[in-house]
């Protein structure tokens, strides 16, 4: 995994790029540590957003709606246009 990219973003895109499906598992449990101060939260959000942008653009071919209509729609609506 690359250090400059959010692994949760890039991993899914790499799986899709290889022709596999990514499925949401509702029973999955995730824990995360929240910064104690709001400045720490802002820094963390800024870092995550930048890493997700880098990850999304690193597999830009998935943004093509003519080749990958469903994937492209999801990426454009949830990553780029936000």
Q: Coil, helix or strand for 58?
A: helix
Domain ranges of the chain: 1-18+38-82
Q: Coil, helix or strand for 71?
A: helix
Is residue 66 scored above 90 in pLDDT? yes
Give the C-alpha separation, 70 to 64, whole Å. 10
Q: What number is the average pLDDT over the span 48-69?
A: 85
Please tell me what DSSP assigns to residue 37: S
Secondary structure string (H, E, C) spanning 64-78: CCCCCHHHHHHHHHH
Average pLDDT, the chain: 81
Tokens standing for residue 32: 């995360």
Q: What number is the average pLDDT over the span 60-74?
A: 88
pTM over 0.75: no
């Amino acid at each position: 995994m690359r250090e400059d990219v959010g692994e949760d973003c890039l991993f899914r895109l790499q799986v899709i790029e290889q022709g596999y499906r990514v499925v949401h598992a509702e029973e999955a449990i995730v824990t995360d540590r929240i910064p104690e101060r709001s400045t720490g939260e802002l820094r963390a959000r800024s870092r995550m957003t930048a890493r997700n942008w880098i990850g999304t653009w690193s597999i830009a071919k998935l943004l093509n709606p003519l080749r990958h209509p469903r994937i492209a729609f999801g990426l454009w609506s949830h990553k780029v246009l936000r």
